[in-house]
Structure 1
Amino acid sequence: MSLFRVIACHVVLVLLGAASAAAHGPTPQKVEESIAIAAPPDVVWAAVKNFDGLVAWNPLVESSKGKGGNVAGGERIVALKSGGKLTDSLDEYLEDEMSYSYRLATPDIEAFPVSFYSSTLAVRPGADGGSEVIWDARLYRADTGNFPSETQNDQAAIDAVAQFFQEGLKTLKEQVEAQ
């Protein structure tokens, strides 16, 4: 084989390697929001503990209908006020630890720019007898291709989840502290 062919083969291999490295798809993103609430943890937990009760304290939710209750495998269908529906599946419910974890079972990427998330909501003891509510998610953007639009990219997904969490936590705080 001539030196030219050897060099040409190496150049092709390098270019193929670079192309495949650039075509990697989405990476998981993380959102974590928390809020301090001036109420004991058991009072705060009572407000958030029902997996299908999201409509009671998140103003972005039109309705939240569940089946299966607060046990692993339970589901809720969340209708968003902005339109669209998401179906969440409950993975773990820990009454004694005041937390539950769930995942997106059926996305609606036109309404909420996320193709998948897994999330945990937890109530913890806070300062001065109060509580801290921590809501986190690991998520993937709506468009899982290599070149997503601005409305379905990583930042759009992060912003949507952060806003959903922030609005819910803010309203939860207002409601619980007004009791």
Structure 2
Amino acid sequence: MLNPGTRALAGLALLIGLAAPGAAHGPTRQKVTEQVVIDATPAAVWAKIRNFDALKDWHPAIAESPADKGNAVGSVRSLKVQGGGALSESLETYDDTGMRYSYRAKDGGALPVTNYTSTISVRADGSRALVEWRGAFYRGHPGNNPPPEQNDDAAVRAITGVYKAGLENLKKVVESK
């Protein structure tokens, strides 16, 4: 049996615990994964996307994508978006043999995200290629009650749209050759 003082503390702890989920907290990390199967060998697909500066060659939204150190870890890719907007990304890992690389953008630039990390990879799917593009990020507005254009839903929609548009166009570009 709890004494009255202990009972009061337990009751207060319960009230605080119940209130905590509604209390202020920052954003949660969001994740997006998109895949496409391309009717080509993995090597043929990798040849199209392997260079860190090649995004402009297959993503319809990208006008320019120069990378200052090519495929060397630490290389910075400066993206210019068709119609305006920019984003800077740095190469974190590069595995030519494993057909994958990862990159990071601290500031989302043209996208409503922050602390964005992404990996794109190619692997065999029978005689075809499976391309997977995955990312993790926080919404663009770090505080509570973000505006609709910078909330979790907007961030997920934006990254999903980027990945889907890129992968659909990559499929078209590679399969048309």
TM-score of the alignment, normalized to the shorter chain, above 0.5: yes
Q: Letter of the aligned partner of 1:168 in structure 2?
A: G
Is 1:29 equivalent to 2:27 in the alignment?
A: no
Give the Cα separation in 1 of the matches to 2:17 and 2:25. 13
Aligned to 2:81: 80
Question: Within 5 A, what are the aligned runs for 1:1-179?
Answer: 11=12, 14-15=15-16, 18=19, 22-108=23-109, 111-127=110-126, 129-179=127-177
Measured after TM superposition, the shift of residue 13 of structure 1 is 9.2
Q: Letter of the aligned partner of 1:29 in structure 2?
A: Q
Give the Cα separation in 2 of the matches to 1:87 and 1:41. 28
2:170 match: secondary structure: helix
1:65 match: secondary structure: coil
Give the Cα separation in 2 of the matches to 1:132 and 1:83. 31
1:47 match: secondary structure: helix
Measured after TM superposition, the shift of residue 126 of structure 1 is 1.1
Measured after TM superposition, the shift of residue 73 of structure 1 is 0.5
Conserved 8 A contact 1:104-1:118: yes
Give the Cα separation in 2 of the matches to 1:115 and 1:141. 6
Conserved 8 A contact 2:104-2:115: yes
Conserved 8 A contact 2:107-2:116: no
Q: 5+ unaligned residues in a row in structure 2: which ranges?
A: none
Give the Cα separation in 2 of the matches to 1:63 and 1:106. 18
Q: 5+ unaligned residues in a row in structure 1: which ranges?
A: none
TM-score, structure 1 as length reference: 0.88
Measured after TM superposition, the shift of residue 54 of structure 1 is 0.4
The alignment's C-alpha RMSD in Å is: 2.3
Give the Cα separation in 2 of the matches to 1:65 and 1:53. 8
Conserved 8 A contact 2:106-2:114: no
Give the Cα separation in 2 of the matches to 1:126 and 1:19. 46
Conserved 8 A contact 2:117-2:135: yes
TM-score, structure 2 as length reference: 0.88
Measured after TM superposition, the shift of residue 11 of structure 1 is 4.9
Judged with a 3 Å threshold, the aligned counterparts in structure 2 of structure 1 residues 13 and 40 are, in CA distance, closer, same or farther, namely closer
Q: What is the total number of aligned residue pairs between the two structures? A: 173
Give the Cα separation in 2 of the matches to 1:16 and 1:134. 40
Measured after TM superposition, the shift of residue 18 of structure 1 is 2.6
